[in-house]
Amino acid sequence: MSEKKKGELLIDHNHDGIDRRGFLKCMAWAGTGALCVMQGGVLKSYSLSRLSDLGAKAAGELSFVQISDSHMGFNKAANPDVVGTLKAAIDKINGLAMPPEFMLHTGDISHLSKPEEFDTVDQILKGASAKDVFFVPGEHDVLGDDGKQYLERYGKNAKGAGWYSFDKKGVHFIGLVNVLNLKAGGLGTLGQEQLEWMKADVKHLKHSTPIVVFAHIPLWSVYPEWGWGTEDSAQALAYLEKFGSVTVLNGHIHQTMQKVEGNVTFHTAASTAFPQPAPGKADSPGPMKVPAEQLKNILGITDVNYVRGQHALAVVDSSLA
């Protein structure tokens, strides 16, 4: 975390001397919480304690929330109450000053792809003020049946293994599937069929259209040694080069992390279930056990605002505490 001032995480390519296309990431632990405002490709992050400084700038014409990695059915020491923490996330969403229009769930809805796990999540999500939820699958949602059950439940209007796109208030959203047909030794995979669909999907969009891509496994190389990346994501991102504003939202790594590269802002969301260690900071990416009183500080939700005409997506991470 490159904290420049107390309470402010500033990623500003024009002032910090870091090459604009260079690699830059910011660990924004949800325990502090961060608001990210992207303007013309420059991302600024503020701790939640400074939200009052931003005032109306944080408001927008489109507001949505990302939740991720509910892992319903998980019951080990890292969090024996994933129902409780998902409900806490929904309470947090229902308490937002600006009610979100919809939610994105970036996968690992369930822990073991059991019908009752999906049922429980569906039931809890009904308690949210935002009624529409757009899903993409995580690897835990397609266990044993190559995603057949997932597709029946969540992919009725989707193409292929569950990919689709939709438009909201001038923003084009693309939901991708990168958790199927994984090869030994490899990373997440989109596959040729999906890539071709995506190429055609964005072909006729204006370059000024803000794009939000969401998928479970990060579409950037967070830490390939732990499988935290997608083999053919470079091809997908190449289709988005012509667009002025691209935001990529992922889950999978159970921690918030951001990176700006050219026109693309990458962002991973916290889990609502259990935290995972920072890349390389443990023997494996397994669930991280933290003292119970700290758990809700490292679980969370992501609130995203879009301000039309400003090319701005404001990304807010808040913890469940």
Partner 1 sequence: MRRSVSTAVLLVALGFGMAGLGAGTRHFSANAQLKPETTEVKIDNFSFGPGTLTVPVGTTVTWTNRDDIPHTVVSTEGAFKSKVLDTDEKFSFTFSRAGSYPYFCSIHPKMTGKVVVQ
Q: State the DSSP string of 158-186.
A: -BTTTBEEEEETTEEEEE---BSSPPTT-
Question: Could you give the CA distance from residue 214 to residue 247 in angstroms, rounded to a whole number?
Answer: 8
Q: How far is the CB of 167 from partner 1 (least distance, A)?
A: 33
Nearer to partner 1, 178 or 245 (CB): 178
Q: Which is nearer to partner 1, 150 or 173 (CB)?
A: 150
- Least distance to partner 1, CB of residue 70, Å: 15
Of 8 and 81, nearer to partner 1 (C-beta) is: 81
How far apart are CB 226 and partner 1 at their closest, in Å?
Answer: 7
Are 64 and 304 in contact by the 8 Å Cβ rule? The answer is yes
Tokens of 101: 């229009």
Kindly list the residues in this chain that would bind partner 1 in the complex (CB under 8 A): 74, 76-78, 111-113, 139-140, 143-144, 182-187, 225-227, 283-287
The least distance separating partner 1 from the CB of residue 208, rounded to whole angstroms, comes to 38
Tally of CA atoms within 13 A in the half-sphere of 231 that contains its CB: 17
Nearer to partner 1, 63 or 149 (CB): 149
CB of 281: closest distance to partner 1 in angstroms? 13
Of 127 and 186, which CB lies nearer to partner 1 in the complex structure? 186
Q: Which residues contact 291 (CB under 8 A, 6 or more apart)?
A: none
